[in-house]
């Protein structure tokens, strides 16, 4: 029996020299061109930017929210009562929610992991909570996410081989339980949702391959590769994608979680990745690091004190069309809230523009040249 698809994915172009491709991801809240970068709205907001600006000015069509944070505050039942996450945050596009597994392992110092799930203490008030594969599905359905993620155990780097083996086996079993529960719930749910299992395996290629193979048997609507950007060298992260990607169904979207720097985005696309997210553009913006076509610009440097030029004279974002480096530096030095909005708008625009460039290059057959040019310029930085 073929499992009915809750979302649809169609490949529209492919690179002959790499595994890069373009596609259309069709959700209940609109169609999304892939490869796509998803801005991170951890607590139902992308820090510093209004939802209407993200959608209309920047062209974002899918955001990422976080189950762990929304479960703790304001609570998934409150969000359900208020009409779901889309209505709660007034976002017209699609929403993908992480299961909260990464935050449980990174934010909760006291936790107990078993085959049943994980007991953890809130980083807010110390209260004890239990996440299971089934409960995290229920929370995400209450949020109304278009794309849900299965609960996984995100292993730290480095991890001993025996621990990674146990953890990977647990992640696979949790994914099976989550998928069974999700399909049972969908029999009585009229709205459309999809559940993506997450490939783990630390930095052991054979564990990644085995995990991907077993998760592929679940016939999910899409797949994620997790446990990246947890301290491992960047080339090793890409090696793990190389290990897992060939084992995942080619006709489903693939999502690399928590990546990456601007010059890394085409590298993941070249390895067959369709979806990415990362806090780097927003976090770096707030800390004074702005991404341009020529590299990174650190706005606090004194040479920008009287600079009338925009952040990037080739950028079409609202910030660059209106404000100077001198003004942005003044806002940053003065600690003005407006700085975070203007800087974040620029960095997100740059990331989304890179994805538009990548899609255009794939469609025009010039992606290998684009990739080569990105690699040659990767070490150039404007600071």
Residue 100 has pLDDT above 90, yes or no: no
- Planar angle of CA 330, 333, 335, nearest 5 degrees: 105
Average pLDDT over residues 62-70: 97
Catalytic residue among 52, 98, 307, 312: 98
Q: What domains are there in the chain, each with its CATH number? A: 10-278 (3.20.20.105), 285-377 (no CATH)
Residue 358 has pLDDT above 80, yes or no: yes
| Residue 268 banded pLDDT, cuts 50, 70, 90 | very high
pLDDT of residue 106: 82
For residue 206, indicate whether it is catalytic: no
pLDDT of residue 98: 95
Average pLDDT over residues 253-279: 97
What rounded mean pLDDT belongs to the chain? 95
Residue 94 has pLDDT above 80, yes or no: yes
Q: How far apart are CA 185 and CA 343, in angstroms?
A: 42
Average pLDDT over residues 170-190: 97
Average pLDDT over residues 43-71: 97
Residue 382 has pLDDT above 50, yes or no: no
Q: How far apart are CA 140 and CA 142, in angstroms?
A: 5
pLDDT of residue 380: 58
pLDDT of residue 379: 61
Residue 113 has pLDDT above 80, yes or no: yes
Residue 141 has pLDDT above 90, yes or no: yes
**pLDDT above 90 coverage of the chain, percent:** 92
For residue 98, indicate whether it is catalytic: yes
Alpha helices by DSSP H, listed for the chain, are: 51-52, 67-72, 76-81, 85-88, 101-107, 133-143, 161-186, 205-216, 234-244, 265-270, 280-286, 318-322, 325-334, 337-364, 367-377
| Nearest one of 299, 382, 355 to 36, comparing CA atoms | 355
- With beta carbons less than 8 A apart as the criterion, state whether 273 and 242 touch: no
DSSP three-state, residue 154: coil
pLDDT of residue 1: 44
Catalytic residue among 146, 277, 313, 360: 277
| Residue 3 banded pLDDT, cuts 50, 70, 90 | low
**pLDDT above 70 coverage of the chain, percent:** 97
| Residue 105 banded pLDDT, cuts 50, 70, 90 | confident
| Residue 383 banded pLDDT, cuts 50, 70, 90 | very low
pLDDT of residue 369: 98
> Would you give the end-to-end CA distance of the chain in angstroms?
57
């Amino acid at each position: 029996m073929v499992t009915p698809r809750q979302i649809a994915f169609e490949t529209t172009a492919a690179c002959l020299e790499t595994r890069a491709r373009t596609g259309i991801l069709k959700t209940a809240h609109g169609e999304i061109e892939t490869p796509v970068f998803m801005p991170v709205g951890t607590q139902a907001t992308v820090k510093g930017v209004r939802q209407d600006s993200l959608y209309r000015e920047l062209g974002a069509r899918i955001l990422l929210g976080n189950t762990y944070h929304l479960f703790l505050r304001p609570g998934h039942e409150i969000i359900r009562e208020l009409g779901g996450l889309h209505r709660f945050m007034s976002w017209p596009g699609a929403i993908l929610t992480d299961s909260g597994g990464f935050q449980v392992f990174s934010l909760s110092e006291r936790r107990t992991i078993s085959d049943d799930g994980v007991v953890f203490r809130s980083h807010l008030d110390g209260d004890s909570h239990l996440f299971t594969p089934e409960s995290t599905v229920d929370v995400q359905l209450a949020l109304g996410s278009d794309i849900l993620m299965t609960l996984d155990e995100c292993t730290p780097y480095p991890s001993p081989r025996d621990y990674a083996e146990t953890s990977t086996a647990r992640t696979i079993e949790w994914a099976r339980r989550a998928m069974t529960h999700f399909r049972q719930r969908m029999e009585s749910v009229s709205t459309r949702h999809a559940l993506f299992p997450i490939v783990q395996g630390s930095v052991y290629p054979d564990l990644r391959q085995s995990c991907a193979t077993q998760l592929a048997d679940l016939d999910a609507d899409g797949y994620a590769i997790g446990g990246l950007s947890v301290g491992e060298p960047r080339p090793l992260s890409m090696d793990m994608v190389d290990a897992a990607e060939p084992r995942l169904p080619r006709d489903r979207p693939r999502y690399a979680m928590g990546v990456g720097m601007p010059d890394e985005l085409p590298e993941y696309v070249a390895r067959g990745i369709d979806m990415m997210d990362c806090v780097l553009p927003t976090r770096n913006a707030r800390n004074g690091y702005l991404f341009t076509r020529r590299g990174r610009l650190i706005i606090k440097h004194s040479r920008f004190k009287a600079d009338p030029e925009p952040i990037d004279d080739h950028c079409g974002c609202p910030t660059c069309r209106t404000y100077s480096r001198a003004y942005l530096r003044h806002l940053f030095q003065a600690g003005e809230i407006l700085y975070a909005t203007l800087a974040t708008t620029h960095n997100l625009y740059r990331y989304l523009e890179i994805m538009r460039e990548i899609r255009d290059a794939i469609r025009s057959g010039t992606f290998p040249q684009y990739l080569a040019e990105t690699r040659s310029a990767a070490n150039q930085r404007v600071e």
